[in-house]
Amino acid sequence: MYQLVKDFLNGLWNENPTFRMIIGMCPTLAVTTAAMNGIAMGLATTFVLVFSSLLISLLRNFIPAKVRIPCFIIVIATFVTVVDLFMAAYFPAIHKILGLFVPLIVVNCTIMARAEAFASKVTPPRAVADALGMGLGFTWAITLIGAVRELMGSGTLFGYHVLGEGATHWVIMLLPPGAFITMGILLGIMNVITRKSARDIQCH
């Protein structure tokens, strides 16, 4: 049980895919014009991550090494398509905003990396715990980025006006440069935080 919790927490902080491993940057940057998008993208990714990890872990002894990558890809792509279809069917508004990037979950390095590095080597419960951690780690990270960009760019948070109608909007935050710069600065802040906590741990 302890192992499962550890696997789960790992993705949330220590090996957070966005802020620590810095992978899956394309969706991270592309869809984070609003906090809500971050949640949606994050959950969609989590869904794919969890189910593909589970399946891959279940089938890990069945797949020959030489074709494991194509097989993984098929599994992942299948789940992604499923998400895409159901999102379009039941959440059309969000689906429209996420656009091209739902299909691109397939190539989100995080999923492939977890499938390869983790799911294909451990038991299903651990794979799921890890996938859930990674997925939620990804989710909170991109929601944070989305929140910052939304707040500065549109003066709202999850669509609610928090800065008052008259507040000046920083248009750049909603444009590509804003994505890069926000991500860069948040990463810098994370580095400061983790370095500090690392130092604290070392001495006690």
Partner 1 sequence: MKELFFIIAGSVLVNNFVLSRFLGECPFLGVSRKLETAISMGIATTFVLTMTSVATYFIQFYILEPFGLSRFLQIVSFILVIASLVQLVEMVILKTSPALYRALGIYLPLITTNCAVLGLALLIAIKRYNLIQSIAFGIGAGLGFTLAMALMAGIREEMEFADVPEALQGAAIVLITAGLLSMAFLGFSGLIPM
Partner 2 sequence: MSQYKFLITSSPHIHSGESVQKIMFSVAGALLLPTLAGVYFFGTRALILVITATLAAVATEAIFQKLRGKPVTVWDGSAIVTGMLLALNVTPALPVWMVVVGSVVAIGLGKMIYGGLGMNPFNPALIGRVFLTVTFPVQMTTWINPVDGTTGATPLALMKMQGVPTDYYKLFIGNVGGCLGETSALAVLVGGLYLIYKGYVDWRIPVSYIGTVAVLTFILGKDPIFHILAGGLLLGAFFMATDMVTTPVTKLGRIIFGIGAGIFVVLIRLYGGYPEGVSFSILLMNAFTPIINRLTVPRIYGEVKTR
Partner 3 sequence: MNQYARMIVVLLIFSVLSGAVLAFSYEIANPKIQEHAMKNLEESIKNVLPGTTKYEQVEKEGMTFYLGLDDQGNKKGIAFKATGQGFGGPIEMMVGYDPKEGKLTGLQILSMAETPGLGARIQEPAFTEQFKGKSVNDPFEPKKDVQVITGATISPAGVASGIKSALEKVTKIYPVGGDY
Ligand X SMILES: Cc1cc2nc3c(=O)[nH]c(=O)nc-3n(C[C@H](O)[C@H](O)[C@H](O)COP(=O)(O)O)c2cc1C
Q: Where on the chain is the footprint of ligand X (CB under 6 A)?
A: 171, 175
Q: If binding is defined by CB under 8 A, does position 59 make contact with partner 1?
A: no
Residue 98, amino acid:
L
> What's the closest the beta carbon of residue 110 comes to ligand FES, in angstroms?
8
Nearest alpha-carbon partner for 48 in 85, 9, 16: 85
C-alpha–C-alpha distance, residues 32 and 143, integer Å: 7
**27 touches 45 (CB < 8 A):** yes
Which of 33, 108, 154, 182 touches ligand FES by CB under 6 A?
Answer: 108
Q: Is position 177 an interface residue for partner 2 (rule: CB under 8 A)?
A: yes
Q: Which residues from 107-126 bind partner 1, rule CB under 8 A? A: 107-109, 112
Among 11, 24, 133, 178, binds ligand FES (CB under 6 A): 24
Nearer to ligand X, 5 or 175 (CB): 175
What backbone phi and psi angles, to 5 degrees, belong to 156? Answer: -125, 165
DSSP-assigned states of every residue in 44-76: HHHHHHHHHHHHHHHTTTTS-GGGHHHHHHHHH
**Is residue 127 a contact partner of residue 118, using CB atoms and an 8 Å limit?**
yes
Distance linking the first and last C-alpha atoms of the chain: 26
Judged by CB under 6 A, which of 9, 109, 163, 172 binds ligand FES?
Answer: 109
26 binds ligand FES (CB under 6 A): yes
Binding footprint of partner 3 on the chain (CB under 8 A): 33, 62-64, 66-67, 70-71, 74-75, 77-78, 81-82, 85-86, 88-90, 92, 153-154, 169, 171, 174-175
Q: State yes or no: residue 135 binds ligand FES (CB under 6 A).
A: no
- Least CB distance from residue 150 to partner 3, whole Å? 10
Per-residue mark of binding to partner 2, 131-170 (x: CB under 8 A): -------------------------------------x-x
Phi first, then psi: what are they for 158, rounded to 5°? 50, 35
Cα 37 from Cα 174, distance rounded (Å): 13
Torsion angle in degrees (nearest 10) through CA of 51, 53, 58, 61: 150
Smaller CB separation from ligand FES, 109 or 186: 109
Residues of the shown chain interacting with ligand FES in the complex, contacts defined by CB under 6 A: 24-26, 108-109
